[in-house]
Amino acid sequence: MMFDSVQVRFKDIAFYQSPLANTRQVPFIGSYFDILKGVVEDIETEYFWLFASFCKLDRNFDWNYIPEQHEKDQIHVWYTTHPKGGLNKEGNVFLIPTERFKQQMHSLNYLRDFKDINYHASPVLEVQPIGTKYFELQDPYKGYNDTPMLYHWFVNRDLRDIKLPNFYPSFWEDEKMYTWGKTKDIMLVPGNKSIKQFYDIDRQVYFDHEYEPKPMDIVFLSYDEPSAEKYWQVLKDKFPRAKRIQGVKGRTQAYHAAAAMSDTDYFFAVFPTIELDENFDFTFQPDRLREACHYIFHAKNPVTGLEYGHRAVILYNKHLCLSTIHPNLDFTLSQPHTVIPQLCGTSHFNQTPEISWRVAFREVLKLCEMKPTVESRYRLKKWCELGQGEYAYYVHRGALDAVEYYKETNGDKKALMLSYELEWLKEKFNSISKV
């Protein structure tokens, strides 16, 4: 006796014709479980077949399969073990016991909760292969909307030679995202989702996988800081891959020069006043699943005692860096960013009266400009207090001068942006110091 059969038609995946004459076609919506509950009332045979349209099933498949007596109430599932088939025991060919399924379906949360499921391995079962795209780390999400396929492999371009897992997604329940490796450089992603980042996909499954992510470039940016040579040599000795940008006028120009020098999609920016913590090793990797952004670490301020992102190491997204042509008062904060509360070292910016003053002046202007919070008000208060250490007076004076300048200009953006350039700061410091 030939059982009723249902072929689940998947959009945007190559289609194989059913070899059975009595096959009803239904679109894939939701999950196999949802589909089974929707079609079971129309089934007229003791059992019925359900199979995916991307499965190549010919008449060599045992369509006359009859469960043994002790297996008669089981769901029978066939999954492929073909080397190119994509291994997943939650297969795509089912023989369903009609009445037993009706009895259980309303009490199940998931199809796999069915009381008895019998899994059959098939070394010859063929499925349509899943396409692969290689993403740039600076924007893994780019190209996602250009992928209409139900699923697609997204792989870091630095891993072009890696062997992909022999795996196929499960359609037993709602679509989900699969990732491999601690940095998630291998992703199997469902298409046609309205998302801004991969974290917007509700259901995610993670698998271990061995590979070494490519380390990010390190770029040392210096201008006129007395400690530049000392800290550059320390950095270079410990991390030979470090590169250097020296004497570029203009903050934006300096950041662009550093980005252009980088051969990686992100790069660590190290400033010439930072005494790195001995445990900071530049192994941090950007999150592949979130939107492209900059990552700001913490540094200790020896004058104020504060510990936050000021003058700390920053992991810059190369694309975002180069695309920042007209930044706000803070270059880094002009693009999406996140803070990593990991101490990278101590920022010894208090090296000369002028540098001490200009660093404080710049930072306090930014604190005055940002939306007040408990944290920002506390930082502003600490900067405006007389701190400790060398040139603490000039740090204190720079902070107070910034508050005064902000009040005088009424926070005018054009006036505030003058502080962006080192030459203007030099002239401002000289004019104030003579008073």
Mean pLDDT throughout 366-373?
94
Q: Which residues of 51-63 are buried (b: 16+ CB within 10 A; e: fewer)?
A: bbbbbbbeeebee
Shared-domain flag, residues 239 and 260: yes
Residues 257, 295, single domain; the answer is: yes
Residue 239 shares a structural domain with residue 318: yes
The verdict on 340 and 385 lying in the same domain is: no
For 326-360, write each residue's pLDDT tens digit: 999 999 999 999 999 999 999 999 999 999 999 99
With contact defined as beta carbons under 8 Å apart, do 402 and 418 qualify? Answer: no
Which amino acid, 407?
Answer: K
Q: What is the mean pLDDT of residues 7-29?
A: 90
How many domains are contained in the chain?
4
Do 168 and 245 sit in the same domain of this protein?
A: no
Crossing angle of helices 422-433 and 392-409, in 10° steps, is 100
Both 28 and 73 in one domain: the answer is yes
Same domain, 175 and 295: no
Task: Answer yes or no: are the C-beta atoms of 88 and 79 closer than 8 Å.
Answer: yes
143/146 Cα distance (integer angstroms) = 5
**How many whole angstroms from its chain centre is CA 325?**
24
Across-strand partners of 135?
156
Q: Domain of residue 325: give its range.
A: 215-349
Residue labelled with tokens 């004019």:
431
pLDDT attached to residue 148: 63
Q: What does the pLDDT look like over 382-435, one tens digit per residue?
A: 999 999 999 999 999 999 999 999 999 999 999 999 998 889 999 999 998 765
Q: 27 pLDDT exceeds 90? A: yes
Question: pLDDT tier at 1 (50, 70, 90 boundaries)?
Answer: low
Sheet of strand 186-190, all strands in order from the earlier edge strand to the far edge: 132-135, 151-156, 186-190, 177-180, 204-207
Of the three residues 207, 237, 258, the one that is the final residue of a domain is 207
- Claim to verify: residue 337 and residue 432 sit in the same structural domain: no
Residues 220 and 333 in one domain: yes
Integer angstrom CA distances of residue 367 from 146, 360, 371, 379, 416? 41, 10, 8, 8, 12
Query: In the listed set 301, 331, 349, which residue is the last one of a domain according to the structure?
Result: 349
Last residue of a domain, one of 349, 378, 413: 349
On whether both 139 and 202 belong to a single domain, the answer is yes
Longest dimension (CA), the chain: 103
pTM of the model: 0.90
Cβ contacts of residue 136 below 8 Å, gap of 6+? 142, 157, 265, 319
Residues 344, 219, single domain; the answer is yes
Q: Check whether residue 176 and residue 268 sit in a common domain.
A: no
Pairwise CA distance, residues 314 & 159, whole Å: 25
More confident residue, 12 or 310: 310
